[in-house]
């Protein structure tokens, strides 16, 4: 029996495609990046696929490890008019 996994109900902090792009441009594997950030390779894969939300702390560590501005990895938010 297979279990289906649901995407997070809360909006993602990261833009999964941007994390993957920055990692590949840096020439790192998921394992190498996960080691630099201090998370598991599985969690790194889930962050890149959008199945798990990167904590704000881990998002900062990802940006530092990838030597890129944090804003590049952050999910773009819709601005609502007041």
pLDDT digits (tens, 9 = 90+) for 20-59: 999 999 999 999 999 999 999 999 999 999 999 999 999 9
- Number of domains forming the structure of the chain: 1
Backbone angles phi, psi at 76, to 5 degrees: -75, 135
Q: Which domain holds residue 52?
A: 16-70
Residue 80 counted as domain residue: no
Residue 20 counted as domain residue: yes
CATH of the domain at 43: 1.10.260.40
| Its pTM surpasses 0.85 | no
Residue 72: the pLDDT is 95
pLDDT at 69 over 80: yes
Residue 32 counted as domain residue: yes
Residue 10 counted as domain residue: no
Residue 76: the pLDDT is 82
Residue 2: the pLDDT is 55
């Amino acid at each position: 029996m297979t279990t289906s996994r649901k995407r997070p109900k809360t909006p993602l902090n990261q833009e999964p495609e941007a994390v993957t792009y920055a990692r590949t441009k840096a020439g790192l594997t998921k394992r190498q990046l996960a080691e630099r950030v201090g998370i598991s390779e599985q969690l790194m894969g889930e962050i890149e696929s959008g199945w798990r939300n990167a904590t704000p702390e881990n998002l900062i560590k990802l940006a530092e490890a990838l030597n890129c501005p944090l804003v590049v990895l952050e999910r773009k938010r819709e601005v609502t008019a007041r």
